[in-house]
Structure 1
């Protein structure tokens, strides 16, 4: 059996989330290739995160050219539409979709509502900034971008008093103990595609697909498809003023899905929030998008 060639970004975050994947695919032979110097990992001239798929272009080129067989992506950072010749083949079980608060004094376990007025909170996310301006307009929000370890260093230097990051990122880095609060999605709505690791292959590479299929989580696959459909119809990408998530309830006789989608102005002053439950996930996404568009959600991105 030829080695399975797996590619992922060379950031600490990407390496941390790829290691369990490699272990799960053992004992089959594998080769791992880290990719550096692309998209949001660049140390200089960082991408403004104002385009789709900014983190994944280099890996996709390598996949298309046959240099690797599998590309590992955070789904929320991957292109909204499948790149011709490639497909998102497998979805690992979803992790915690919530954002979390990390402060300079994690031992106090301070909550977002407990932060003193005027505290400086670092985030470059349009989604988080808008939510904070709505929930805690008395806080000072400053742009803070970069790999999560760099953002935590800014915290330890005292550049900021707190940061908002993804709970799953802290968990994957083994930093769960630093989380002060896991913030309710009702306060900060997660990004569509949050906390999902997706494995991408070439469309015609059935051999590779069969070798990784055992890792697929059916529930996550459905939720991912629904959320990607909303992103596609609404023209969203990783840092667009659009958020939401799909959840699955299989406790009854029929499987039901609840889809929430939220469009908002970057200032946080106006938001349109749609939430529906149904048994047909694709139709659910279509109806949610229709309601968002009917309420002029597409006009919010450039509004104040």
Structure 2
């Protein structure tokens, strides 16, 4: 059974791609120096700006992001998740929102295109219409085995509100759920931690949730509070609202121990639903 350190990175991304990569590498290096073997970057880690600019640069940015993840994973000898970046969808009008998980040797271990899109009118006056410029992923995420560490399931941000996705991942063997996000400041204050703890508790799995924080552009502001939560629902690390990382130990033997103590997964009655 593995016992290792995981890091959920928290940054404030903008439309300045090079500055975003520099911020990300700074936090990756700091996390690796502290001994983190699994590091997650948040959704939109490489670019957070207006929709038209994202569409215009998506082809080149997708290549930059994939290469950045490979370079960082090799340089710091870590497993690295890029929590979401734009990839051209092929119609010239929309992108996919893709997460990639890379191994220490730079090998792509898995990718996932965000399924659930954030189309919401918030009481604070902000409106979000991801489906206007982003196309939904068509495949459920696969569980990825990180040799020597654990089995990981990937999701992105708004997915956290759809528990059936995480039950699928646990059914496939996930011990740790990664939930990189750009959670809005308005919804985050009431829902972010509650949702993360719920996903951890109901699936008796670790949750590693990298996050965006602060003001990005215009009125776009993120909640922060990147977190690591254990299978009992205990918050092991919280990055607050500053740029940095939440870093905490992951002990996969604790996953099985809690699943033995609270065997909810065995008590399900799927045949009744």
TM normalised by structure 1 equals: 0.25
Q: Which has the larger radius of gyration?
A: 1
Higher strand share: 2
